[in-house]
């Protein structure tokens, strides 16, 4: 997704901007650019389709000297990803330069109006229209701040912007509506970004802009106002993580690092929240809605992508252990299908980034209809985390790889904790069952370590199947969503077509695809559906499909049915989705690396999708 970096201070801005842009690469992008104002108050710029490194290699450092500048990584929405459409954009007089995340929905209307006023355009972007609109007001008001304010008051859509003006070269103006933006306060310098990762190695003191706000940033001062010109006082907040935490730490890829971090990330999700003797769970962020949750007549869970899969597991376990009717909705559908929601409903919003536009829009809709909105979010201080009625952080730590891994298992753990909290108080989970679950929970990090130690086995299987064209993933019960997530991981990073299905549903269509070239991954760990899964495996074997099973360490029977086995330790059914997901993460990782795919930044994908 698009990323913004800006700098104003005493140092040369270019290296700081490049460094920041590289730290935002994980978000996914297709082009990049920078603009800098030099000592002579000239704006110089360079922009290009491709990676920041290519931009850095080609630009002429001499030309881009200056102590104030803005930079951008673009993920195309309007106009193809080429050099011309890359940001920064300019007005036709080259007085205003701007970088922009988001979408200006009424850009066609604005473009028409500006064209009638004699403005011309050289790109296909909505952003260039905004640059010209600011210039249009600048010409009559001769004041950059007023011009930005008037322009934004005409804009419909979402934006995070940083812009500079040649005629007022001592400031950067930033504004936000629906797209994250913050600035870090250094000594005699301010670093702007859409993501704390670009700021953290300069300062930990940050100010987050809220929707409908703008800020005028100078080297040694700043002023925040609403777009309607009301003054805002905002407290400085501390970024909670270190740079090392968001670097690779010796692993070849962020994704591999994050898969291997799961013994710790899972622990961080439950640390201090469960009494291992009694199984009693305390989630501070949910105290205010605990009674409501226990007495809920209905729970709705929503999210996108991997978070939606976590929600599906949540549906199975909440219904099983709490006996509360639970539904799962794609966030993107929820908003537009006029959902039947009342003030008695509880809606859980699952989001790693806390910035996904569809999830956020669904949250607003649920709140508008009076429901209680609860967040299950990873990124502290993110928009969803701030705007929900209450919530619980999953504490998985920064997740950089575009394909979500440790955040998924921590989302599952958070849903388990919520389930245990409700189940105990409703009396739908017995004391003894609760104790058994708490005991097993404590053993989980060790079991995850055992899975990680077997990673060469998964690598071996990956080598065997790296050239497959299609994959089928099948599971039942709690592990049906795990099959969906396994297929999604493979698609996302290896570009192999993969589908997940409930194993029995396979007979109603996908079985037609089975032949000797079709690998089928069965999640076949021992639970009450084991015998049924074995029957489903037989059906595939009879049609010569290749069988890869995820099976528990002590299961010897499975040897008779599998071509390849990925082993996991025994656990309770409630935890099996967590353990079973990890070999599938490894499988897709090793298949993708064997195919030389860019696993951390897969094509066309973004870590955080902040447009609808
Ligand atoms: C994007 C990412 C997925 C992620 C989804 C939801 O599509 O590529 O990995 O699952 O967004 O993101 P969120 O941050 O809301 O969990």
Q: How far, in Å, is the centroid of ligand 1 from the Cα of 605? A: 9
Ligand 1, atom 7: nearest CA belongs to which residue? 305
CATH number at residue 55: 3.60.20.10
C-alpha 354 – ligand 1 centre gap (Å): 9
102 shares a domain with 131: yes
Q: Is the pLDDT of residue 167 over 90?
A: yes
The reply to whether 312 and 425 lie within a common domain is yes
Tell me which of 397, 421, 448 is where a domain ends.
Answer: 448
3-state secondary structure of 305: helix
pLDDT in tens, 258-287: 999 999 999 989 988 999 999 999 998 999
Cβ(526)–Cβ(571) under 8 Å?
no
| pLDDT surpassing 80 at residue 54 | yes
Residue closest via CA to ligand 1's atom 15 equals 351
390 is catalytic: no
- State pLDDT tens for residues 389-402: 999 999 898 888 99
Q: Which of 239, 261, 285 is the last residue of a domain?
A: 239
CB neighbour list of residue 248: distance below 8 Å, 6 or more residues apart: 254, 257
| CB distance 310 to 408 below 8 Å | yes
Domain containing 292 equals: 250-448
Residue 135 lies inside a defined structural domain of this protein: yes
- Is there a domain that residue 82 lies in? yes
Can you list the pairs that 543-546 forms with residues at least 24 positions away whose Cβ atoms lie under 8 Å?
543/511, 543/514, 543/515, 544/514, 544/515, 544/516, 545/472, 545/514, 545/515, 545/516, 545/518, 545/519, 545/520, 546/465, 546/516, 546/517, 546/518, 546/519, 546/520
Q: What angle (nearest 5°) sits at the alpha carbon of residue 206, between those of residues 42 and 224?
A: 65
Q: Does the pLDDT value for residue 27 go beyond 70?
A: no
**Identified catalytic residue from 51, 67, 546, 607:** 607
Peptide bond into 88 cis (omega under 30): yes
Ligand 1 pocket, residue 305 CB under 6 Å = yes
| pLDDT tier for residue 61 given thresholds of 50, 70 and 90 | low
Say which DSSP state 300 is in: E
Same domain, 504 and 587: yes
Q: How far is CA 53 from CA 25, 32, 110, 422, 457, in A?
A: 10, 10, 35, 50, 35
Q: Give the domain-ending residue among 448, 476, 493.
A: 448
In a domain, 245, yes or no: no
Q: How far is the centre of ligand 1, averaged over its atoms, from the C-alpha of 103 (Å)? A: 19
**Quick check: 241 pLDDT over 90?**
no
Residue with tokens 């099996």: 576
Band (31; pLDDT cuts 50, 70, 90)? confident
Q: Tens of pLDDT along 480-506?
A: 999 999 999 999 999 999 999 998 888
**pLDDT given at position 28:** 62
Q: Does 351 sit in the ligand 1 pocket, CB within 6 Å? A: yes
Q: Per the domain annotation, does 244 fall within a domain? A: no
Could you tell me the pLDDT band of residue 449, with boundaries at 50, 70 and 90? very high
| Pair 434, 522 in one domain | no
Average pLDDT score, the chain: 92
- Is residue 605 in some structural domain? no
> Are 265 and 393 in the same domain?
yes
Instruction: Tell me what pLDDT residue 159 has.
Output: 92
Atom of ligand 1 nearest to the CA of 384: 15
Write the residue with the smallest CA distance to atom 4 of ligand 1. Answer: 305
| Mean pLDDT, residues 477-482 | 96
Q: How confident is the model at residue 52 (pLDDT cuts 50, 70, 90)?
A: confident
Q: Are residues 260 and 321 in the same domain?
A: yes
Contact between 99 and 162 (Cβ < 8 Å) = yes
Within-domain flag for 172: yes
pTM for the whole thing? Answer: 0.75
Q: Which positions ≥6 away from 440 have C-beta within 8 Å?
A: 571, 572, 575
Would you call 2 a catalytic residue per the annotation? yes
In percent, the amount of the chain with pLDDT more than 70 equals 96
Q: What is the mean pLDDT of residues 35-51?
A: 92
Within this chain, do residues 215 and 117 fall inside the same structural domain, yes or no?
A: yes
- Cα 470 to Cα 358: distance, rounded to the nearest angstrom: 29
For residue 594, report the distance from its CA to the centre of ligand 1, in Å: 24
Please report which confidence band the pLDDT of residue 329 belongs to, taking 50, 70 and 90 as the band edges.
very high
Calculate mean pLDDT across residues 63-70.
Answer: 91
Q: Are residues 384 and 430 in the same domain?
A: yes
Asked whether residue 126 falls in the same domain as residue 88, the answer is: yes
Residue 68 confidence (pLDDT): 98
How many distinct structural domains can be found in the chain?
3
Closest C-alpha to ligand 1, atom 2? 607
CATH of the domain at 269: 3.40.50.10490
Q: How far is the CA of 365 from the centre of ligand 1 (A)?
A: 20
Q: What is the pLDDT of residue 246?
A: 63
The fraction of the chain above a pLDDT of 90, given in percent, is 76
Q: Are residues 282 and 398 in the same domain?
A: yes
**Domain identity same for 227 and 170:** yes
Same domain, 206 and 61: yes
């Amino acid at each position: 997704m698009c990323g913004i970096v800006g700098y104003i201070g005493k140092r040369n801005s270019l290296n700081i901007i490049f460094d920041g842009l590289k730290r935002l690469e994980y978000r996914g992008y297709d082009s990049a650019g920078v603009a800098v104002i030099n000592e002579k108050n000239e704006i110089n710029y360079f922009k290009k389709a491709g990676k920041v490194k290519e931009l850095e290699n080609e630009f002429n450092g001499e030309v881009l000297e200056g102590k104030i500048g803005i930079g951008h990584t673009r993920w195309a929405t309007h106009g193809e990803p080429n050099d011309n459409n890359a940001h920064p954009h300019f007005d036709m007089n080259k007085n205003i330069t701007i970088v922009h995340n988001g979408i200006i929905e009424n850009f066609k209307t604005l473009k028409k109006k500006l064209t009638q006023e004699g403005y011309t355009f050289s790109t296909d972007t909505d952003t260039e229209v905004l640059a010209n609109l600011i210039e249009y007001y600048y010409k009559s008001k001769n004041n950059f701040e007023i011009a930005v304010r008037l322009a934004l008051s005409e804009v419909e859509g979402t934006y995070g912007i940083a812009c500079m003006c040649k005629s007022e070269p001592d400031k950067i103006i930033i504004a936000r509506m629906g797209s994250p933006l913050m600035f870090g306060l250094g000594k005699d310098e301010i670093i702007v970004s859409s993501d704390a990762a670009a700021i953290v190695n300069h300062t930990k003191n940050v100010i987050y802009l809220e929707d409908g706000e703008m800020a005028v940033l100078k080297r040694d001062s700043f002023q925040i106002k609403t777009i309607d010109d009301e003054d805002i006082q905002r407290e400085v907040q501390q970024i909670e993580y270190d740079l090392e935490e968001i670097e690779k730490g010796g692993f070849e890829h962020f994704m591999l690092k994050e898969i291997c971090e799961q013994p710790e990330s899972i622990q961080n999700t439950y640390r201090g929240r469960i009494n291992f003797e009694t199984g009693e769970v305390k989630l501070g962020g949910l105290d205010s809605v605990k009674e409501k949750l226990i007495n809920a007549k209905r729970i709705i869970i929503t999210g996108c992508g991997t978070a939606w899969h976590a929600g599906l597991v949540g549906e199975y376990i909440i219904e099983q252990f709490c006996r509360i009717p639970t539904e799962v909705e794609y966030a993107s559908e929820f908003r537009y299908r006029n959902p039947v929601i009342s003030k008695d409903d509880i809606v859980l919003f699952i989001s790693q980034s806390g910035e996904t536009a569809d999830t956020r829009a669904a949250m607003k809709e649920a709140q508008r209809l009076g429901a209680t909105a609860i967040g299950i979010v990873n990124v502290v201080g993110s928009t969803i985390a701030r705007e929900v009625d209450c919530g619980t952080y999953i504490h998985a730590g920064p997740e950089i790889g575009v394909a979500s891994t440790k955040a998924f298992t921590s989302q599952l753990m958070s849903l388990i904790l919520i389930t245990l909290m409700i189940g105990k108080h409703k009396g739908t989970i017995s004391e003894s069952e609760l104790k058994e679950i708490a005991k097993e929970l404590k053993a989980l990090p060790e079991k995850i370590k055992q899975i990680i130690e077997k990673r060469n086995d998964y690598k071996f299987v990956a080598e065997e199947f790296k050239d497959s064209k299609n994959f089928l993933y099948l599971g039942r019960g709690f592990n049906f969503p795990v099959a969906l997530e396994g297929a999604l991981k493979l698609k996302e990073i290896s570009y192999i077509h993969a589908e997940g299905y409930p194993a029995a549903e396979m007979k109603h269509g996908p079985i037609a695809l089975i032949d000797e070239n079709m690998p089928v991954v069965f999640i076949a760990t021992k639970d009450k559906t084991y015998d049924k899964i074995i029957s489903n495996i037989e059906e595939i074997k009879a049609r010569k499909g290749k069988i890869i099973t995820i099976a528990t360490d002590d299961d010897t029977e499975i040897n008779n049915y599998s071509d390849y086995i990925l082993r996991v330790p025994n656990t309770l059914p409630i935890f099996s989705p967590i353990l079973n997901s990890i070999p599938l993460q490894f499988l897709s990782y090793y298949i993708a690396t064997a195919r030389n795919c860019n696993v951390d930044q897969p094509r066309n994908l973004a870590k955080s999708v902040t447009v609808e």
